A and B are shown apart, each in its own frame.
Chain A
Amino acid sequence: MHFPEYADGMWPLLSDVKRPSRYAGCEFGSLPPKEDSGGMVRVCLAFPDVYEIGMSYLGFQILYFLVKGLPWADAERAYCPWTDLEGLLREKGMPLASMESGRPLDRFDVVGFTLQYELSYTNVLTMLDLGGIPLLAGDRGEDHPLVAAGGPGALAPEPMAPFVDFFCVGEGEELLPEALKVLSETKGRPRKERLEALARVEGVYVPSLVECDFSPGGRGMTFRSSALPLPVHRRIVDSLDGAFYPDMLLVPSGGIVHDRVPMELFRGCTRGCRFCQAGMVTRPVRERSVKTVVKKTLSLVEKTGWEEVGLLSLASCDYSGISPVIRELSAALAPKNVKISLPSLRMDAFSVHLAAEMESMRRGGVTFAPEAGTQRLRNVINKGVSDEDFTQCLETAFSKGWDRVKLYFMMGLPTETAEDLEGILDLAERALSIGKSRGKKAQVALSVAGFVPKAHTPFQWEPQAGVDELRSAGRFLKGKLASRHGGKNSRISLKYHEPEQTFLEGVFARGDRRLAPVLLEAWKSGARFDGWSETFSLPRWMEAFEKTGIDPAEFAARRRAADEGLPWDHIDAGVSKAFLLRERDRALGELVSPDCRPLGGNEGAPCRACGVQDRCPVLGKGGASRD
């Protein structure tokens, strides 16, 4: 008898860690590595968080199969090992390797990270280090892989610039094949030459070819480069129907966070919420046609065996074909016991009616995001939810049978007052009383997160509320809730996010290259998985700031002048600075900017010239995808 498990050098390590299924692989749908017939670019798609988070990310599902389909490239994947496995790998001197073939990261041509959130940046360093790749781009030699990074983090890339050889700015379906083609054609050439060739691809930002000049005093900066034109423009696909979407998906065997067929309905959002980076940087709105959505979904359900489909986008209820898609998919999938879910619900009766039709949505509670407690503050952030919407939405939810409601809010929003915070409790009480009037013993769960101003949004110049301020706001809410109900109302629960992580996220969200040494210092002193409360330590970070002589408040806590050179000015995300400034002024004037998209019989507001109007299918109040 032969026992390959006995010979597996990883087995003793995996038997000694939490959740070893994270590292088991055993997926259905993964493809074997390709033979290299010359010029093959081997890419490792690296997700800087654990497997169950990374496998829930649609982007890697798309990019994995996209690269697999290119004759000049091949893809494998790696995820960040949890701290227990990291320790064991170091102890045994074993490298971090790909899931598919066990190839160590330093034996790939490209290691490409996705930067989904700032608190995963230290995990990038962990993966590079465990993979045998020097952390700083300047320390890498000819034999080392090129380190790439994409995702939202590439739109404000400077804190990571010293660690990354090139950033992919924009949508991978459009940019990646071209960039990998260049790398295939220049394989074997000196590293510098290859980076210069890459820099000529639109959407590629090579930080080593760009100089950053700080203004006197260190506030404000300008970028210059003799090797590439600036700014770097974000690449986007014009039509989702024409863009690559895989015919197969990787199906995990262990549980992951979003364990379902992901079907992206559209990209972009025209709602114009002023706090929302995703809504700003994914413009213009581009819809996949109903026909394609239905055809692709049914095919993927059949090929993957998944028992749930998630209809994804920034606001799926805004999809112009949502009713026919749900109707057609329900008719085909209900007999197969396959459920359909919408990950986010808009606060209106239409969305609630829609959700009530879906069995998977009827389980548990229903979740809405009014974001702010008063109409005034919702106007400031341009969250198009009126008091009437709130009432109508809750009435519909309770009448449809739900009795548990979760409401998401933010604290620390620009212009926020105590009255706005109390408004959160007012809304919770109103929800309870609506429930009561419908004969329900309702439960309302409030979740309040600290606001982080992000790059490429109208609030990019605004100061972020500090740790103490956010903690006071959280305690204020807790105290008020207790005093209103004498601590006896168990029907309203309130949780607020601890503000330390919010603060650090804010520093890196609008940081520049001077933060890279801080990141390195914090990582060296043990910072790992900073997005996870069980591993996060603010004192460790404050020590790193102190050691490197960097004041984090300079990045997060001050109001920036409108004419200050920003650390992401060399990246053109699509929306123009002029538009963002206009929107900021409207925010401070508490003016709403209505949706420019025609929806539900509404013609849509006039175009606000956000910067992407030349490529906007909404502008013609129609567009190909609506046909």
Chain B
Amino acid sequence: MIRVRLTYSKRGRACFIPHIAIPSVLARSAARASISFRLSEGFTPRPKISLGPELSVGVPALAEPFEAWLTGYDEDIPRRWNLFLPAGFSITGSTVVDGLPGTEEAKSLGKWCRASSCILALRGGESGPALQECLDELKTEGTVLSFGKGPDLPSGFFRLVMEDPAQRGPGVLVKALAAREVITGWPNVFILREAVGSLFLPEDGGEPRVLPLAEPLRVPDGEDERA
């Protein structure tokens, strides 16, 4: 049995597939790819998969972590798995967890998910000073650890880092923005979760970053082997 930590992306309309359906999406695609799982115990054994913190419906993501307990592993598995995932889903990273039980390395996935980074923008209007002001407030009150306009982002888009993704997901952000009347609700806001993982605080005082929990797969841009 091999414990593998992977990340997946959920793009386009796949963002509307709820978190609860993800284990079955992953298990069925793995079955199609002839990747076999260790089964959970109990009356109804299922492929053993553990997901990271819940992602709200409607939020696309680039590197959501999950763990799979497989009966065997080789480096080609993520590529094979990708071939059989439905449109909108991709495996984006993979790392074998080789820590012995009880060691730091072997602790559960949830314990590794310390922070998340998101891209945020308003829909149907300029992400103007009101949003900036609101994010300042959220930073002051501790909901948001940091935010900024990255050079890789279009105008009006912000990158945010938040701690404790199990408690502070995109839903918390939407509630906070709605409470401050920056938005009326989900239809007015765009959120993409870039990564969930460990928190990296640069010693030079630079912006905090979130490190994904699996080694990114090297897939050249635009390459998709799926038929």
Seen from chain A, the residues whose Cβ lies within 8 Å of a Cβ on chain B are 1, 3-6, 8, 10-16, 20-21, 23-28, 30, 251, 253-255, 259, 302-307, 336-337, 363
Q: Top 7 nearest A-B pairs by Cβ distance?
A: A305-B28, A305-B31, A12-B187, A24-B16, A20-B16, A305-B32, A15-B186
Question: A303 and B18 in contact (CB under 8 A), knowing A5-B11, A15-B187, A28-B86?
Answer: no
Interface string of B171-188 (1 = CB under 8 A from A): 000000000000001111
* Beta-carbon nearest neighbor of A25 in chain B: B13
Pairwise interchain contact A26-B190, C-beta atoms closer than 8 A: no
Question: A3 and B32 in contact (CB under 8 A), knowing A21-B18, A25-B13, A253-B25?
Answer: no
CB neighbours of B27 from chain A (8 A): 305, 307
Q: How far is the CA of A12 from the CA of B188 in the complex (A)?
A: 7
Min Cβ gap A257→B in Å is 14
Asked whether B219 is an interface residue with its Cβ less than 8 Å from the other chain, the reply is no
Query: Number of contacts between A and B (CB, 8 Å)?
Result: 118
Interface size class of B (residues with CB under 8 A): 35 or more
* Beta-carbon nearest neighbor of A13 in chain B: B187
* Beta-carbon nearest neighbor of B21 in chain A: A254
Which of B17, B31, B85 contacts A21, CB < 8 Å? B17
Q: How far is the CA of A314 from the CA of B88 in the complex (A)?
A: 37
CB neighbours of A363 from chain B (8 A): 43-44
Q: How far is the CA of A28 from the CA of B11 in the complex (A)?
A: 15
Q: How far is the CA of A259 from the CA of B88 in the complex (A)?
A: 20
Min Cβ gap B191→A in Å is 10
The segment from B116-124, B136-144, B196-204 that touches chain A is: B116-124
Q: How far is the CA of A304 from the CA of B57 in the complex (A)?
A: 25
Question: A5 and B192 in contact (CB under 8 A), knowing A12-B187, A253-B86, A363-B44?
Answer: yes
Which of B17, B28, B190 contacts A5, CB < 8 Å? B190
Pairwise interchain contact B89-A11, C-beta atoms closer than 8 A: no
Which of B45, B58, B153 contacts A337, CB < 8 Å? B45
* Beta-carbon nearest neighbor of A31 in chain B: B227
Q: Apart from A253-B25, A337-B39, what 14 extra A-B contacts exist at CB < 8 Å?
A: A1-B119, A3-B157, A3-B190, A8-B13, A14-B58, A16-B185, A16-B187, A20-B57, A26-B17, A27-B87, A28-B85, A253-B14, A254-B16, A307-B27
A–B complex contacts, Cβ < 8 Å, 29 sampled:
A3-B60, A3-B154, A4-B11, A5-B12, A5-B190, A8-B12, A11-B190, A12-B124, A12-B187, A13-B187, A16-B186, A21-B21, A21-B57, A24-B13, A24-B16, A26-B89, A28-B28, A28-B85, A28-B86, A30-B87, A253-B14, A253-B88, A254-B16, A304-B28, A305-B27, A305-B29, A305-B30, A336-B31, A363-B43
Pairwise interchain contact A15-B58, C-beta atoms closer than 8 A: yes
CB neighbours of A254 from chain B (8 A): 16-18, 21
Which of B47, B58, B86, B124 contacts A251, CB < 8 Å? B86
Min Cβ gap A301→B in Å is 8
Interface string of B127-164 (1 = CB under 8 A from A): 00000000000000000000000001110010000000
Pairwise interchain contact B124-A303, C-beta atoms closer than 8 A: no
CB neighbours of A251 from chain B (8 A): 28, 86
Q: How far is the CA of A367 from the CA of B86 in the complex (A)?
A: 35
Asked whether B91 is an interface residue with its Cβ less than 8 Å from the other chain, the reply is no
Min Cβ gap B60→A in Å is 5
Which of B28, B43, B46, B190 contacts A306, CB < 8 Å? B28
Pairwise interchain contact B58-A20, C-beta atoms closer than 8 A: yes
Pairwise interchain contact A23-B28, C-beta atoms closer than 8 A: no
Asked whether B15 is an interface residue with its Cβ less than 8 Å from the other chain, the reply is yes
Q: How far is the CA of A254 from the CA of B58 in the complex (A)?
A: 13
Pairwise interchain contact A253-B21, C-beta atoms closer than 8 A: yes
CB neighbours of B69 from chain A (8 A): none
CB neighbours of B88 from chain A (8 A): 24, 26, 253
Q: How far is the CA of A337 from the CA of B43 in the complex (A)?
A: 12
Which of B32, B39, B45 contacts A28, CB < 8 Å? B32
Q: How far is the CA of A24 from the CA of B15 in the complex (A)?
A: 8
Min Cβ gap B209→A in Å is 16
Q: How far is the CA of A16 from the CA of B15 in the complex (A)?
A: 14
Q: How far is the CA of A4 from the CA of B87 in the complex (A)?
A: 14
Q: How far is the CA of A4 from the CA of B121 in the complex (A)?
A: 13
Question: A26 and B14 in contact (CB under 8 A), knowing A3-B119, A255-B21, A337-B45?
Answer: yes
Min Cβ gap A35→B in Å is 16
Pairwise interchain contact B31-A5, C-beta atoms closer than 8 A: no
Pairwise interchain contact B28-A6, C-beta atoms closer than 8 A: no
Min Cβ gap A592→B in Å is 41
Q: How far is the CA of A499 from the CA of B60 in the complex (A)?
A: 45
CB neighbours of B46 from chain A (8 A): 307, 337
Asked whether B84 is an interface residue with its Cβ less than 8 Å from the other chain, the reply is yes
Question: A14 and B16 in contact (CB under 8 A), knowing A253-B21, A255-B21?
Answer: yes
Question: A28 and B84 in contact (CB under 8 A), knowing A302-B32, A305-B27?
Answer: yes
CB neighbours of A12 from chain B (8 A): 123-124, 187-188
Interface residue ranges of B2-56 to A (CB < 8 Å)? 11-18, 21, 24-25, 27-32, 39, 43-47
Pairwise interchain contact A304-B32, C-beta atoms closer than 8 A: yes
Q: How far is the CA of A254 from the CA of B57 in the complex (A)?
A: 12
Min Cβ gap A339→B in Å is 9
CB neighbours of B87 from chain A (8 A): 25-28, 30
CB neighbours of B45 from chain A (8 A): 337
Pairwise interchain contact A305-B192, C-beta atoms closer than 8 A: no
Interface hub of B16, B18, B29, B186 (most chain A Cβ within 10 A): B16
Interface hub of A10, A20, A24 (most chain B Cβ within 10 A): A24
Q: How far is the CA of A363 from the CA of B123 in the complex (A)?
A: 47
Q: How far is the CA of A16 from the CA of B11 in the complex (A)?
A: 18
Pairwise interchain contact B31-A307, C-beta atoms closer than 8 A: yes
Pairwise interchain contact B121-A24, C-beta atoms closer than 8 A: no
